[in-house]
């Protein structure tokens, strides 16, 4: 068993994390097809979280654009359509490399157990849906009509969900159907056997639950790179404190992880043993941080673990989308601003698509951030890149904190 503890300062931890999250480089274009580069990026990140909110582009597209300035939304649509990715629950709904399909079988089994009653109640409509998908191939939810309302996943006491919509959700969660392609925000569903390769479905049927859960935990650790065992969904399935303690001991005994002491941080963190040499190299040779501004969407991979944000970046973040407007401090879609190796503020953008205009309702810098020429130049370049991605010709900054920041920006 490895007993050594790797000790580093916060800057080293941030640098390592940003490098492994692909948020450190200059986003220089690499050789090869853009679609292939997008696929490689998602494979390295392990998964990308989906979200339908469209104040600007959707979360999954913004995650990829923050890391690859040449990314275009149809890259992702092509990867889903050609079967390179599948959509399922990891850190909520995510796009995941299809090779990982088998190891998510324990989660599908949990849903099969939890949704058994609902599935039985929906049996007639489910049979109709599956019959049509078998005969017609991928279809969107609007292809299935129903006037009957039932209590869906997010309904409280009043039934507000069409029974066909609930049936599609149940079938997707239990693994009987999958998303075969996306066109914008619209999903086209297919029977799983028509879209997921036979070899992967066979492996899913054969894999032992314990093996799959260990593989999920390892995938989780690769996604986070600096991780703790306090997350109740460690491995993207529900775990107790005692189960996580056993997992930690098992990985330590197998020499797969190493304790990480971060100067000034009380929480117990770990890294993969395979990352020790990289972390120690960064600690020895501190490279200057790139003077690039990136705007991170609310569900960006870097933001998944909020305690880690506070520990390493001294940045507290809450997505205020569900707050009443009167209680919002930073805005409906406030996106953290990454500059060099720090989170220096937030912006709340809206894309007025018909007018081809990007409106920044609030551009807010954290206390203590100095407005320098270099920062202003980087902010301006970042906003122009963000606007181009949204095909916006005009940028309007309505409000800034501090107030004089807006006066320094010219478009």
Domain parsing of the chain, residue ranges: 100-203, 294-408
Is residue 300's pLDDT more than 90? yes
Predicted confidence band of residue 185 (pLDDT cuts 50, 70, 90): confident
Cβ neighbours, 10 Å, residue 343: 21
Predicted confidence band of residue 32 (pLDDT cuts 50, 70, 90): low
What local confidence, expressed as pLDDT, does residue 155 receive?
83
* Range of weakest confidence among 57-61, 206-210, 222-226, 280-284: 280-284
152-188 burial code (b ≥16 CB/10 A, e <16)? beeeeeeeebbbbbbbbbbbbbbbbbbbbbbeeeebb
Predicted confidence band of residue 173 (pLDDT cuts 50, 70, 90): very high
CATH code at 100-203 = 1.10.10
Mean pLDDT, to the nearest integer, of 20-45?
Answer: 82
Mean pLDDT, to the nearest integer, of 252-278?
Answer: 97
Mean pLDDT, to the nearest integer, of 306-335?
Answer: 96
What is the rounded average pLDDT for all residues in the chain? 95
Is residue 339's pLDDT more than 90? yes
What local confidence, expressed as pLDDT, does residue 386 receive?
97
Is residue 1's pLDDT more than 90? no
Report the DSSP pairing between strands 6-8 and 257-262: parallel
Instruction: Read off the pTM.
Output: 0.95
| H or E element, residue 42 | helix 34-45
* Residue 283: C-alpha distances to residues 17, 140, 278 (Å): 13, 51, 9
* Range of weakest confidence among 32-36, 305-309, 317-321: 32-36
Mean pLDDT, to the nearest integer, of 230-244?
Answer: 96
Is residue 326's pLDDT more than 70? yes
**Radius of gyration of the chain measured on its C-alpha atoms:** 23
Whether the Cβ atoms of residue 118 and residue 160 lie closer than 8 Å to each other:
no
pLDDT tens digits along 133-168: 999 999 999 999 988 999 888 888 888 899 999 999
Predicted confidence band of residue 34 (pLDDT cuts 50, 70, 90): confident
Is residue 94's pLDDT more than 90? yes
Predicted confidence band of residue 316 (pLDDT cuts 50, 70, 90): very high
Predicted confidence band of residue 265 (pLDDT cuts 50, 70, 90): very high
């Amino acid at each position: 068993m490895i007993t050594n503890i790797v000790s580093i300062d916060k800057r080293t931890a941030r640098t390592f994390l940003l490098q492994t999250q692909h948020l450190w480089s200059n986003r220089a274009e690499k050789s090869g097809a853009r679609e292939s580069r997008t696929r490689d990026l998602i494979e390295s990140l392990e998964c990308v979280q989906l979200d339908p909110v469209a104040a600007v582009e959707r979360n999954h597209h913004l995650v990829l654009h923050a890391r690859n300035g040449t990314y275009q939304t149809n890259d992702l649509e092509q990867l889903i359509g050609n079967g390179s990715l599948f959509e399922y629950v990891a850190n909520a709904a995510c796009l995941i490399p299809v090779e990982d399909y088998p190891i998510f079988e324990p989660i599908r089994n949990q849903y099969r157990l939890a949704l058994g009653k609902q599935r039985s109640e929906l049996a007639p409509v489910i049979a109709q849906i599956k019959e049509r998908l078998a005969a017609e191939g991928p279809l969107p939810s609007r292809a299935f009509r129903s006037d009957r309302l039932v209590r869906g996943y997010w309904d409280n006491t009043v039934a507000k969900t069409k029974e066909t919509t609930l049936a599609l959700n149940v079938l997707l969660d239990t693994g009987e159907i999958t998303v075969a392609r996306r066109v914008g925000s619209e999903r086209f569903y297919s029977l799983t056997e028509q879209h997921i390769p036979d070899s992967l479905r066979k492996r899913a049927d054969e894999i032992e639950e314990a093996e799959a859960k260990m593989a999920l935990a390892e995938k989780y650790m690769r996604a986070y790179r600096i991780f703790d065992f306090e997350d109740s969904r460690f491995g993207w399935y529900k775990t107790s404190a005692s189960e996580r303690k056993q997992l930690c001991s098992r990985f330590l005994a197998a020499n797969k992880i190493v304790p990480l002491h971060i100067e000034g941080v009380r929480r117990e963190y770990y890294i993969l043993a395979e990352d020790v040499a990289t972390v120690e190299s960064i600690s020895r040779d501190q490279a200057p941080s790139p003077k690039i501004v990136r705007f991170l969407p609310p569900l960006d991979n870097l933001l998944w673990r909020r305690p880690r944000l506070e520990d390493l970046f001294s940045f507290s973040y809450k997505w205020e989308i569900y707050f009443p407007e009167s209680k919002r401090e930073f805005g409906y879609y406030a996106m953290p601003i990454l500059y060099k190796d720090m989170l220096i503020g937030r912006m709340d953008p809206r894309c007025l698509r018909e007018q081809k205009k990007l409106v920044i309702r609030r551009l807010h810098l954290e206390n203590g951030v100095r407005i320098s020429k270099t920062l202003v130049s980087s902010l301006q370049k970042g906003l122009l890149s963000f606007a181009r991605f949204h095909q916006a010709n005009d940028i309007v900054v309505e409000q800034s904190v501090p107030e004089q920041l807006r006066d320094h920006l010219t478009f």
